[in-house]
Amino acid sequence: MVTRRQLLASGSVVLASGLAGCSEIMLPEPEVVEIDGQPTLDEILSGKATVDVMVKNHGQTGDVDVTFTHTDASGDEQSNQTKTIEIAEDEMELVEFEIDVPGENDEFTAQAESSLSLPF
């Protein structure tokens, strides 16, 4: 006959075994490697331009939030956009953002981070 204490002890061992290795959750490790915002003549004439942000994933396959910011020469934010993409392990993805045609001295920044937020 199994006692309550033996049953609880065996359940604890099974639970601990099931959680082993969970402290190392594998996530995407994205990096922005290039931002190309040079408008074409057609874009200048249309008033809209596409900015390409190249992201490389150094981690596991998963969802990545890519945030792009366009700031004009006086430091005023003109655009702030975020897109979520799925990116495979050790792959690169091109993410496109549409903006108003930038001025000559405007600045672009981009960052990429895993979409999964951990509670610890």
What's residue 14's pLDDT?
Answer: 46
Q: Which CATH number fits domain 26-114: 2.60.40.3230, 3.30.70.260, 2.40.30.40, 3.40.50.1000?
A: 2.60.40.3230
Q: To the nearest whole percent, how much of the chain has pLDDT over 70?
A: 76
What's residue 5's pLDDT?
Answer: 60
**Better-predicted residue by pLDDT, 119 or 95:** 95
Residues 46 and 59: their CA atoms lie apart, in Å, by 39
- The domains of the chain are located at 26-114
pTM: 0.76
What burial letters (b/e) apply to 46-82, b meaning 16+ CB within 10 Å?
eeebebebbbbbebeebebbbbbbbbeeeeeeebeee
Please give the mean pLDDT across all residues of the chain. Answer: 85
Per-residue pLDDT tens digits for 18-55? 445 555 668 999 999 999 999 999 999 999 999 999 99
